[in-house]
């Protein structure tokens, strides 16, 4: 594990056993824990988290892609402390300086006419509001999103979030339609030349190098949905630049541009959901939509915007913003002084510490190292992503690309945790490991993470041969002398 000079404080609070009892008896049963042996974290510093015993973990999940600058970044902490001593809260029906200072700094980071901001508290709130804006401005009702999309968990957003694991059995999604996801790894079209990533899928591809024929086929699916399932005009289209909870899915290179084009022909506003992709995480660009060469009409953002503080925003054009003046619209805590002080400090830290550049350099290095693991282990089917938003797709075998069963994924996740790294989990089958760390991680951290993951994959391979129920196994030895199992 890479060394650090930081020493955590001695913990004196509630015990782990007491916390688990409260969790079981007093908190909603819908709360899940990632591990068979859960962890209680009591302190964070940079890319590290510490449990009540003082044990250190490399946080590669960042509170579900939320801690952008690093845990308890001193500049962000100082900004919050300073604001707490002057003004905690006053309604925005009064004028306080922080919201005005912050929205100027925030909207200066966006191109074109995206200059009007609504400050809210969460990504779900932001997407709720974006949906309302689209419907009010266009006078239309229907909205489309992609299958495998995640745009929030509120009842209003249940239809936009097209993942069975997140949807309850009640009437939802009225006026919302989900198009085929443009997935070049598991979808019907696409392969090795299609996506904008340092690592391409090993799936065979008929596209010439530098071209993607799958793109038009997926755009046609959007057009077909619009022509058959929607009225003549629609309100909007929601797209994550890279799908997060859906499995770090990446589209063909020009898919988003094509989808925007056909949707705009139906009068739609184009909404970029930057909740997970914004604020430099893509490395090459500050915003994920910029990697697709498009200009959205509305941008939603949360998570990394506040480095863990409850903060989110919707940014749109002056023309679209006017529609909210038809009735009273207000958010009690949106844009409060504390949140705006934090958000402003986060933007400063990302710029001053060149975290966007770090995301590109370390993210690309990490993906190329993970590509070597993919070529070594049959269970590792795909590595994909951009910057420090990376997915590792675990499979039973590379030929079928069938998702690795849940118990196997759980074992691997548990082992990586026990060896000191924290990973996320995503995808409809829960078989995609998510890497979305604080953007301050180092090359040494990346090397440590790869070493831990390799050890966990070696142990999984020794513990449980592939295809054990369906075919005899043929043992081979990899370049690093690790036992692997493949079909004869």
With a CB cutoff of 8 Å and minimum separation 6, the contacts of 433 are 391, 392, 394, 409, 412, 413, 423, 424, 425, 426
Q: Which two tokens stand for residue 85?
A: 């001593």
Residue range 219-244, pLDDT digits in tens: 999 999 999 999 999 999 999 999 99
The average confidence (pLDDT) of the chain is 92
Query: Is residue 250 within 8 Å of residue 288, measured between CB atoms?
Result: no
Would you state the pLDDT for residue 171?
80
Full-model pTM: 0.93
Residue range 299-344, pLDDT digits in tens: 999 999 999 999 999 999 999 999 999 999 989 999 999 999 999 9
Residue 420 buriedness (CB in 10 A; 0-12 / 13-18 / 19+): middle
Would you state the pLDDT for residue 464?
59
> In DSSP terms, which residues pair with 291 in a beta bridge?
none
Query: Is residue 209 within 8 Å of residue 351, measured between CB atoms?
Result: no
Task: Using alpha carbons, list the distances in angstroms from residue 157 to 126, 171, 329.
Answer: 11, 12, 19
Would you state the pLDDT for residue 463?
83
Segment 33-48 shows an average pLDDT of: 95
Q: Which of 13-22, 64-73, 455-464 has the lowest mean pLDDT?
A: 455-464
With a CB cutoff of 8 Å and minimum separation 6, the contacts of 93 are 330
Over 70: is that where the pLDDT of 58 sits? yes
Would you state the pLDDT for residue 472?
42
CA 397 to chain centre: 26
Sign of CA dihedral 168, 154, 138, 275: negative
Query: Is residue 308 within 8 Å of residue 339, measured between CB atoms?
Result: no
Q: Which of 187-191, 349-353, 420-424 has the lowest mean pLDDT?
A: 187-191
Of all residues in the chain, the percent with pLDDT exceeding 90 is 85
Over 60: is that where the pLDDT of 153 sits? yes
Domains and CATH numbers, the chain: 55-65+355-486 (3.90.1150.10), 77-352 (3.40.640.10)
Over 70: is that where the pLDDT of 25 sits? yes
Instruction: Give the residue, 467 or 247, on which the prediction is more confident.
Output: 247
Residue 190, phi-psi category: left (phi > 0), alpha (psi -120 to 50), beta (remainder): left
Q: Identify the band that residue 480 occupies on the pLDDT scale cut at 50, 70 and 90.
A: very low
Q: What are the start-end ranges of the E strands in 351-431? A: 380-386, 389-394, 421-422, 424-426
């Amino acid at each position: 594990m890479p060394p650090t000079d930081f020493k955590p404080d001695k913990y004196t609070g509630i015990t782990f056993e007491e916390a688990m009892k409260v969790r079981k008896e007093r908190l909603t049963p819908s709360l899940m824990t990632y591990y068979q042996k859960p962890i209680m974290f009591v302190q964070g510093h940079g890319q590290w988290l510490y449990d009540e015993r003082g044990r250190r973990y490399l946080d590669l999940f960042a509170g579900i892609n939320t801690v952008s600058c690093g845990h308890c970044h001193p500049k962000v902490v100082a900004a919050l402390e300073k604001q707490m001593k002057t003004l905690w809260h006053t309604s925005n029906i009064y004028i306080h300086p922080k919201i005005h200072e912050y929205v100027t700094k925030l909207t200066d980071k966006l191109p074109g006419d995206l200059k009007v901001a609504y400050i809210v508290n969460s990504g779900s709130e932001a997407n709720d509001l974006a949906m309302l804006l689209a419907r009010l401005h266009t006078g239309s009702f229907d909205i489309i999103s992609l299958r495998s999309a995640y745009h929030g968990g509120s009842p209003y957003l249940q239809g936009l979030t097209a993942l069975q694991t997140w949807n309850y059995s009640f009437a939802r999604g009225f006026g919302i339609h989900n198009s085929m996801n443009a997935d070049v790894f598991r979808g019907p079209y696409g392969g090795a030349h299609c996506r904008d990533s340092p690592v391409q899928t090993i799936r065979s591809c008929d596209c010439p190098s530098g071209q993607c024929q799958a793109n038009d086929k997926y755009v046609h699916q959007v057009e077909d949905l619009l022509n058959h399932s929607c009225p003549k005009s629609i309100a909007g289209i929601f797209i994550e630049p890279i799908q997060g909870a859906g499995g770090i899915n990446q589209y063909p290179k020009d898919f988003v541009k094509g989808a925007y084009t056909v949707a705009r022909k139906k009068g739609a506003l184009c909404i970029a959901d930057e909740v997970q992709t914004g604020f430099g995480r893509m490395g090459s660009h500050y915003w994920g939509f910029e990697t697709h060469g498009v200009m959205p009409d509305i941008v939603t953002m949360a998570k990394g915007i506040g480095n863990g503080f409850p903060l989110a925003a919707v940014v749109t054009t002056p023309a679209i913003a006017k529609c909210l003046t038809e009735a009273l619209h207000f958010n009690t805590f949106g844009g409060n002084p504390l949140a705006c002080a934090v958000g402003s400090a986060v933007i400063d830290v990302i710029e001053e510490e060149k975290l966007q550049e770090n995301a590109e350099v370390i993210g690309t290095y990490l993906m190329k190292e993970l590509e070597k693991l993919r070529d070594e282990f049959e269970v590792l089917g795909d590595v994909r992503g951009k910057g420090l938003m990376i997915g590792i797709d675990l499979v039973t075998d590379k030929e079928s690309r069938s998702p690795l069963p849940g118990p196997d994924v759980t074992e691997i996740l548990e082992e990586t945790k026990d060896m000191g790294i924290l990973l996320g989990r995503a995808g409809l089958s829960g078989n995609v490991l998510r890497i979305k760390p604080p953007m301050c991680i180092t090359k040494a951290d990346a090397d440590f993470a790869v070493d831990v993951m390799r050890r966990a994959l070696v142990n999984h391979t020794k513990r449980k041969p592939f295809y054990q129920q369906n075919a005899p196994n043929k043992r081979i030895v990899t370049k690093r002398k690790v036992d692997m199992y493949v079909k004869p």
